[in-house]
Chain A
């Protein structure tokens, strides 16, 4: 079976890669493009550890096929910081100790960024429901939610 030749944009860079039909975007990111920041927790779209943005929409990359991203824009955790400056969400997570083992953190950050881009002043309930697709087993979500709310406030101040 011949592989597919795909051209796409990942974190602002033009990329091209070959992938099998059944390879997911997560497989491609991790194994072909060496972007291992997105994690596989379940491969069935239930844990959110593989969260990325596809054309500005939050998706589980384990539920997207590699060939589906032809000509499209993918943003992963690796693209969140700008040069040496961490995104305010990343900074706040560090300040608030909103991570323990850190495996869910890339997915949570990508999802949180997506939330704040569409809803800059979310309530606690909004944050919790938006992040319901990101499983965390270590933190109990408390410091994650506080960090997102605090980062939202920082971003609103401009």
Chain B
């Protein structure tokens, strides 16, 4: 039975692990540096003698690069190196898994530096390193690029037409039979199928079919990309970069530039936001190539305009959803067709989009088709639960419409169809224990849900989830001579990870929280770590710490046995010390970690442990969001009045930072739903490449975000942890669209529901007055 504890509903599971600091709100160890300005982010690093690197970018959305003449730039005093496509060896076509988006280095090398064609406005065409920013800028102007401008296409539906401008003449749609003879912009067709939807629809009393459209949105991290590289004459390379995955950066740079990984040492600086957008490389290979040529360190930082134009916003998409339900509300059939932009090179998150679309529900017949489509805009990079917000926006909107048409409460309708333990997911396997129903119940019990609304106010609810992953993770725990603990992890800390990991280490070793000092090690200091993403860093890191701590405890137990001439069954580890049992207790006193540490040499050597795992057992995190909003009929502006998030964290290692994930993701979703979009002109150029017109939520746009921590323990994790970072961005789009319908009676099928669009819709009905 669920119990409430500090705002968290738990199922009482702790999986048998000690809990002292875990689950409490400790001060994060990196916090003081962050509130004093001392913490060093990507652009805060400098090396003596460094050069400044800048990138020349294509002004055309689609053009053949006929020639590049860098001679005048190279001759400019102060310019120490210029690079182009000539400085990067071509890469053979080979698909490598990079999470849900297969990566092809043939595409990566072309995205990092254009080769035959410029495929989007902002595509890197050349780069220079000079003794000052001013000289670097002047040098860019002296590079003479001859373009043959080609017609461009951006919208996904237009890009799928057989007569659309073709981006790659060697791109033949994978996943269709028979194999196409002509190339197209459709890279891939994916599909999941369960049962027989046609038969299912025949059993439906109500069928709702709608088409939805979303625009590309950017992850919106406040810190632009930055990299500082220094290459020695023997090829040894050091790189500081703001990234979610410094081991991945190392792998990409080594591959693209023909370097041994062991010779490349990458330090992940503090990172000012990533949300998936900093899991790929942009500046790093360029900085290394320039430094290699110039024989001096090269520092590169993107401008805000470059971030918008040349890094990877997520897909814009067109989604068609058709669902059938009985008059009692049971979903009997569900179909969807997703068309996602991949940007200049293939690899949109349409696959997880298809898998997530109906995942919260137990539906007998499901058929989802997805298309991965290239077009002349920047290559898509991951954005928090990639692909899921888009498909679940569409599905949750239709679920809401079904509720309204059947006269059913939207939470009751979801409860009736909710996936639970044992439900077979549309993407195949049965769910283990999951918390969807608990989140729906939590929302139902809130005062928010039961508050009356006024005219032009509306309420919406939606659910969503993310799979979550584990992955390769390495941590080391070192016991210092004074008994303090150094914890080295290898997954960049994007929002409080060090606090969570320190709590786990402290509990595992029975030492005070402030005696554990966590750092994120560089690629030379700790074994391989997959990147921070997939909601994995706290889940996997804590698992690895349990392993490392086990090694230390076992080692100290063995040393105690030797020292006390005791047998293993005469000693035990408890509360930070090895304790003698039974009669032995009359001869010797317990020994703490600190006491062992003082004489570590005498007992065999330094004390430490490593956890090197490929963490498995990640459990999905389900969430339900509830939003009240008010529409101003005279301006079309929407004000969020109230917002509540209920999400299953399994076990919150640090409740405040888990709440922070809920709140941050919800507000990103608010921005996506109401205001954010990439606006392209007919010329294929981005018109709003700045924070003024790419309008993200500010403090005055949103209310407090109430966070309800649900804890349905994950039986596969020693503490019951589920990743939480991504799920929060999945429900908001649907919840807000549903609230808009509730407020205005209009079902908005295009995002964002920005004031001009809302006003126009109201004007068309003659209702744009209070």
Direct contact of A and B (CB under 8 A): yes
A-side residues, CB < 8 A to B, are 20, 30, 35-44, 46-47, 49, 76-78, 80-81, 86, 90, 93-97, 99-106, 109, 124-125, 127-129, 131-146
Query: Is the beta-carbon distance between B32 and A86 smaller than 8 angstroms?
Result: yes
Q: Does B433 contact A (CB under 8 A)?
A: no
A42-B691, A44-B691 are known contacts. Are A136 and B222 too (CB-CB below 8 A)?
yes
A97 / chain B contacts, CB cutoff of 8 Å: 25, 28, 496, 654, 656-657, 659-660
B477 at the interface (CB under 8 A from A): no
User: CA of A99 to CA of B612 in the docked complex: distance in angstroms?
Assistant: 30
Q: A49–B691 Cα gap in the complex (Å)?
A: 12
User: Closest CB of chain A to B553's CB: distance in Å?
Assistant: 30
Count B-side interface residues using an 8 Å CB cutoff: 59
23 contacts between A and B (CB under 8 A): A37-B36, A41-B223, A43-B304, A44-B304, A44-B692, A46-B691, A78-B37, A94-B27, A97-B657, A97-B660, A99-B34, A101-B495, A102-B30, A102-B39, A103-B221, A128-B700, A136-B222, A137-B222, A137-B668, A139-B660, A139-B663, A141-B702, A143-B663
Contacts A99-B35, A101-B272 hold; do A144 and B699 have CB atoms under 8 A apart?
A: yes
Q: What separation, in Å, do the CA atoms of A136 and B663 have in the docked complex?
A: 12
Known: A20-B134, A43-B303. A35 touches B663 (CB 8 A): no
Select one of B222, B663, B705 contacting A41, CB under 8 A. B222
A93, B660: Cβ atoms under 8 Å?
no
A37 CA to B666 CA in the complex, in Å? 28
- Determine whether B290 belongs to the interface, using a CB cutoff of 8 Å to chain A: no
Residue of B nearest to A129 (CB): B700
Residues on the B chain within 8 Å of A135, using CB:
222, 691, 696, 698
Chain B residues with CB under 8 A of A127: 699
Tell me if A103 and B303 are in contact (CB < 8 A).
Answer: no
On whether the beta carbons of A134 and B699 are closer than 8 Å, the reply is yes
- State whether B696 touches A137 (Cβ < 8 A): yes
Please state if B222 and A104 are interface contacts (CB–CB under 8 Å): yes
A131 cross-chain contacts in B, Cβ below 8 A: 698-700
A40 and B691 form a contact (CB under 8 A):
no
B728's nearest neighbour on chain A, judged by CB, is A140
Residues of A within 8 A of B385 (CB): none
Does B667 have its Cβ within 8 Å of any Cβ on chain A? yes
Partner of B702 from A49, A78, A109, A140 at Cβ < 8 Å: A140
Q: From known contacts A44-B690, A100-B495, A132-B700, infer whether A86 and B36 are also in contact, taking CB-CB under 8 Å.
A: yes
Most buried by B among A39, A81, A101: A101
Q: Which of B493-541 contact A (CB under 8 A)?
A: 494-496
Complex CA gap A137/B268 in Å reads 20
- The contact string, 1 if C-beta is below 8 Å from chain A, for chain B 663-694, is 11111100000000000000000000011100
- Which parts of B39-94 form the interface with A (CB within 8 Å)? 39-41, 43-44
Known A37-B36, A140-B705; contact A102-B666, beta-carbon cutoff 8 A: no
Query: B275 at the A/B interface (Cβ < 8 Å)?
Result: yes
Q: How far is the CB of B383 from chain A (nearest CB, A)?
A: 12
Nearest Cβ on chain A to B224's Cβ, whole angstroms:
7
Instruction: Return chain A residues, CB-CB under 8 Å to B34.
Output: 99, 102, 105
Known: A41-B272, A140-B666. 9 other contacts (CB 8 A): A102-B35, A103-B273, A106-B37, A134-B699, A135-B698, A136-B699, A137-B696, A139-B664, A140-B702
Interface residues of B in 692-750 (CB under 8 A from A): 692, 696-702, 704-705, 707
A138-B660, A144-B699 known; A41-B304 Cβ under 8 A: yes
Q: Which residue of B lies closest to A111 (CB)?
A: B699
Known A42-B691, A77-B37, A103-B41; judge A137-B275 contact (CB<8 A): yes
Q: Is there contact, CB below 8 Å, between B304 and A96?
A: no
On whether the beta carbons of A78 and B36 are closer than 8 Å, the reply is: yes
Whole-angstrom distance from the CB of A154 to the nearest CB of chain B? Answer: 15
Closest to A42 in B: B304
Cβ of B664 and Cβ of A137 under 8 Å apart? yes
B704 x A142 contact (CB < 8 A): yes
Give every chain A residue within 8 A of B691 (Cβ-Cβ): 41-42, 44, 46-47, 135
- Complex alpha-carbon distance, A144 and B704, angstroms: 10
Complex Cα–Cα for A36 and B44 (A): 6
